[in-house]
Structure formats: structure tokens, C-alpha cells
Structure 1
């Protein structure tokens, strides 16, 4: 029972990490371009 709970928590954390990476990867160049554009 305890092991299943740990696995479920680990799976949820992994899913969150993957979702975060998928969201962050396209945003990073856009944010960098915005910062660069503002500094000109």
C-alpha cells in the first residue's frame, strides 16, 4: 500500500516535471528575445 502511494507520488512529480519542461522550453527563447528587444 505504502509503495503504491510512493509510486503514485513519483509518477505525479514526473508528470509535473515533464509538463513544466514542455511549457518552459518554448517560453525561454521567447522571454530571452523579449529581454533582448527591451534592452535595445
Structure 2
């Protein structure tokens, strides 16, 4: 797991879905519309 995913996951904010605040395609490794999964 990448370090950038630890904070959102620990805060209960992950996964981040496309359209939600904080979503970025660079965080969505498999391009399925869900980041930090």
C-alpha cells in the first residue's frame, strides 16, 4: 500500500470514488473510478 493511502484510510475516508472531493486519477491505479482501494 502506498504511503499516500494511509491517511485517508485511517481517517475512514477511503476508498475515494470518482466525483468525490479528493479523487484523482493518479490515485486510481486500475482506472475503475475508485481511488485508495
TM-score per shorter chain, which class?
under 0.3
Q: Which has the higher helix share?
A: 1
TM-score normalised by length of structure 2: 0.27
TM-score normalised by length of structure 1: 0.26
Which structure would you say has the larger Rg?
1
Q: Which has the higher strand share?
A: 2
